[in-house]
Structure 1
């Protein structure tokens, strides 16, 4: 009897101190394990601390020097190798074999020129700057995924590439990262965005295959006239009247020319004249944005704007449309249902906001989804880009677990296959 008890003791000790290889299990087991790890105080509290540290010192596009320092310091502590600088302030980390297949997880790291109006302990300490779009949370979640994956690095069947990208907010940082060549060997890339929508609670996700977010371009126009006294308009050439007519005509490009089933937006959001109440100005400038889900629709709008007003200046498309890969959508559905449950995975209609994640999707298969963070009992969250925007930190474990699960199961399913990369060389 004593020998039997001793045998049982050693069996118990073995199972306590010898880690079970999680990647030998099904994707469902992997996802459950990752969510449990992400919810543990060790990982959750750590992610919250990082998110708040970044939130206190927001930095604008290509100025994310302190944010980059925080990211690199945490990667150093975890023993994760990385490249820096990439696209000025970006950081690219590597977990796994440094051999194919390669899959990427992306976090944007820049803030916005907004004065935070939320009064709390970790309010922005930088006047006029704020993380009002959740990029601090995105960064914390990818770091959380990295922490989980690093603990199981010897079981990763390939390489997970961590993309901490600058300048999403209008700076086209994704394009700069691609131009740096650091993703040339990557087969697929995943990204997410926190969603304060009232109908997407914490622990829920939403996305779709195909067009998800709109492509966008900006335009500016100047109309020159001849200034004069407002009491004697017949001696002037009034550019305000001409510009007003042009604005009305531009609105018809969508309302009367676009297919109602093809979502498009044309908004004139800026109109400026240097006149006064009794002065007709010499010129008027105005500008705005166009949005569409299809590349050909953006091209048509750009052409028609030039035809309506030949003085219009249209730069290149700022962001193309965010279009989710069909095969990655199926992969996302399988993984997400395992992580958050079948009933918490939702479809969604396309939205006419834009994301520079779309640049990645032009170069390689990519998938982007929305992560719910609305509390079922708390006050409704404010919209993105609001000075009153807040993040529900209870969403952080779900984002970290989804990132880790999407990457590892992708590598397991592709096991050495390399689709869309330029070569199979080791990093």
Structure 2
């Protein structure tokens, strides 16, 4: 397998460090708009299979040229969601397979944003499903940790642990602390603003056709969820996320939600950014230049990839499932916890980016071995979950399961 990895930030660099310990591929091009970042990622592993390159992720022709020049079989997108569609189209036109960890952006309903969906996450990608099928290529979308591993958990629960499922709820929480910063997100603030301030989406199977996905106010339906391995109880709220759009395509459940343990301080900060218009992506004039306010916010905050040495604690991603087995009610939480001290000592990458990056690397390995495959635009819940979960332990961070405690 020959891979083009676009994006050498925290997640891309972690993917390089994880992949360097595996032997399923022959060649990986690590490309970034900033060539120094690409070279640093490659230099961190000292492996001749990796080469650095410069590319503008928005330039489809340049991406296709890089794919062809290095005879790459697959494009792994490790950029932020703004670049999903140009990279997605470049892979399609270039004849390669494609993976990403976040899907094409949504647009709220113009009149009823907190009731009805407008353009949903991933709609632009799924619109090209037939073209991917016709070309016999796989676009595996949303194969990070959330979405990604959380979808694998949902499919595994449906296949192996439940006969009927009432609700699937992805629940994300952490006890991470970044010393020296009052506010320092552990992943891209651009992405955090996008997913947390957009109207959250909920799926309910019993609603009328065409209305099964609907929206609510940001940070709605707060609940206390007790996270495992010492993280403890956190307040979780509805957030827009891909799993709600992906899981119902291949897993039967009456309700699907995504809730994030943000905490009151983060929610307050995000609301303030929104009130001040600092979440906007359209440029505003600042003297002789134009700049998007959200880009200014991102530039003022530390790069999440650089926070590992200051960070302590654990991050947990998981899928809570409520239903029945053999007529008996049950609730389970399937989860994955990564301790920042472990990920830093083992890989030199902070916990959140490592936990995200390990999943596309496993998926690539399963694709190289023909264990995972297919054609068209598919999410992780469309593929056999057992081989993925079995492989996760061999990467040093096994998953867990517990009877749910409210």
Band of TM-score, shorter chain: under 0.3
TM-score (norm 1): 0.27
TM-score (norm 2): 0.28
Higher relative contact order (CA closer than 8 Å, sequence separation 6+): 1
Please state which structure has a larger fraction of its residues in strand.
2
Structure number, greater radius of gyration:
1
